[in-house]
Amino acid sequence: MAVADTFAPRGRRSTSRWTRRCGLSWGPPRRQSLPPLRSSDATRFATGVLNVDKAAGETSFAVVNRLRRLTGARRVGHAGTLDPLATGVLPVLFESATRLAEFALKLPKTYVADIHLGFVTATDDAEGRLEPVGDPSDLATADVESALQEFTGRIQQQPPAYSAVKVDGKRAYRLARGGEPTRPAPREVEVYEARLLDFQTGPRAVAQVEVRCGSGTYLRSIARDLGQKLGVGGYLGRLVRTAYGPLTIGNSVRLEQLVEPDAVRDRLLPAEVILPEMERVRLNVEQEAQVRQGRPVRVLPEPAPGQLRAHDAEGRLVALGHTDPLRRTFVPEKVLS
């Protein structure tokens, strides 16, 4: 938890910013438990989005690797990293859907988190060594609810020392692991809603909260800062991403349920499910052919200025683009194959 269209051929690892951010996986995987790809498998897989319920202890990159091996898909990526200890909704994008990752990152996410009070850790989660700060026994539910509301709206948030945020060109977690812990500069994030679901009082108090937020928000930082606000310290325990835009944990799938490529294909959702709301235009066959070649086309009725999504005659997503108000045309920017 916080895009160029560059894809590396099989056997060469891409180091593009898009690849690092969205979890694209290339080259031979490290896992040996799955059978090697047959040459006949290395064909284009179906385009779409798989709503995965990531298990605890597995990295988001490992999920992508396993699905790429299982399906033989040429392009697989995820839309937003979940920490290894976290569970819940991880959108995995296949083939042309990977081109929409930057739009998916703009969708709101919902988390349920257990915040442990009375202690802090260097990692701001349960992986670090516990250091006692204050006794939370006297805290009441109203105290926690009141403090939590100060972390809603557009706020300045300092990412954890152990995070992927860059400090002087280096990843903060690399500096921290190398004995140079540093706090990345605060940055603006948006928290749409934060509410207390449950509060267990006592010397090891735990506040269970639900947070709906925008991209780049660290729940570890909210846990740390809430504990600091209450004067007793705090760190993040269990974390579940329960929703990512329209994707919910209730309609997700666990990796162990997917034993063959067809099982993945049957679970794929249309690529447009990860797009925010924007005006749609319908293309006829001739217009579709032009758009697929990257050419602007005039569409009727004339769309309003702004971002647009273009669909073919059967309603399938063809491209994303914008309106050219001077020429009154739809200008394609990202074309799905």
Structure tokens at 212: 């709906």
Chain centre distance of CA 125: 19
Cα four-point dihedral sign 254, 255, 258, 259: negative
83 is annotated as an active-site residue: yes
Of residues 5, 41, 53, 83, which has the active-site annotation? 83
Whether cis (ω within 30° of 0) applies to the bond prior to 9 is no
CA distance 270 to 317: 8
Residues carrying an active site annotation? 83
